[in-house]
A = this chain, B = another copy of it.
Amino acid sequence: MSLRTALLALLTVEPMTGYDLHKRFDSSVGYVWHAPDSQIYPELRKMERDGLLVGKEVPWGQRGRKTEYHVTEAGIEAFREWMNGTLEYGRERDPMHLKAAYLEWAEPEAARRQLRAHEEHHRALKAQWEEQIREIDTGHSGMLNRRLATLPKNEHRAATAFKRFTYQGLVARAEQEIEWARQGLALVDELYGKEPEAGPGRR
């Protein structure tokens, strides 16, 4: 039921088509919430049936049509309600930590490969988040600017601060995961001995 909330969040900023949303979920926003189009379109129709959205048919080119979804009052209300509630903390499902706990089953090289992949993954995420922060700080964040355009001036500070706060938390999380992976690599070296670097020219 949270895809619904993610869709509401994005659509409160501006009306969009399913395709627009699909693109958002595929890029920046997609690292906080992902959804494939096969889930997006049906959910939008359901939300329209439930009165949270209205779809406006817009012509596109000569023959083409597209449906732009606008949030209704009921949609705003539902979103506000979600925002004023408290999240339930569901149970975890964390393959990497499950794997880490049994890492003695893996061959040393496989363990290294996994830990390096973990580090790389979180380095890439970190770069993403830092880019978002830079954009916020320099006023180049399209997402934030569109949001600010819907708000009175006196609320700009809060909206900006919360977005920055969010990304800053994600950066800190990524840094922690990178550090953990590095400790894991050091541990593998310590337990099984250091592998020679796979550099060129060294037999």
- List residues of A whose CB falls within 8 A of some B CB: 2, 5-6, 9, 12, 30-34, 79-80, 82-87, 89-107, 110, 113-114, 117-118, 121, 151, 155, 157-159, 161-163, 165-166, 168-170, 172-173, 176-177, 179-180, 183-184, 187, 191-192
Copy tally for this chain in the complex stands at: 2
Q: A6-B98, A87-B99, A87-B114 are in contact. List 7 more A-B contacts (CB 8 A).
A: A30-B92, A31-B92, A33-B92, A87-B117, A87-B118, A161-B187, A165-B184
- Judging by beta carbons under 8 Å apart, are B94 and A33 in contact? yes
- Judging by beta carbons under 8 Å apart, are B92 and A166 in contact? no
> Distance (Å) between the CB of A163 and the closest chain B CB?
5
Q: A102-B162, A117-B86 are in contact. Are A32 and B97 (CB under 8 A)?
A: yes
| In-complex Cβ contact of A105 among B30, B79, B166, B180 (8 A) | B79
- Judging by beta carbons under 8 Å apart, are A100 and B172 in contact? no
Which residues of the other chain, B, contact A191 by a CB distance below 8 angstroms?
157-158, 161
A-B contact list, 21 entries, CB within 8 Å: A5-B95, A9-B102, A31-B91, A32-B97, A32-B98, A33-B94, A34-B93, A79-B105, A80-B105, A84-B110, A86-B114, A97-B169, A100-B165, A101-B162, A103-B158, A104-B151, A104-B162, A165-B187, A169-B180, A172-B176, A172-B179
Q: A176-B176, A191-B158 are in contact. Are A9 and B98 (CB under 8 A)?
A: yes
> Distance (Å) between the CB of A145 and the closest chain B CB?
14
Which residues of the other chain, B, contact A184 by a CB distance below 8 angstroms?
165, 169
- Judging by beta carbons under 8 Å apart, are A166 and B97 in contact? yes
> Distance (Å) between the CB of A35 and the closest chain B CB?
8
Which residues of the other chain, B, contact A102 by a CB distance below 8 angstroms?
9, 12, 83, 162
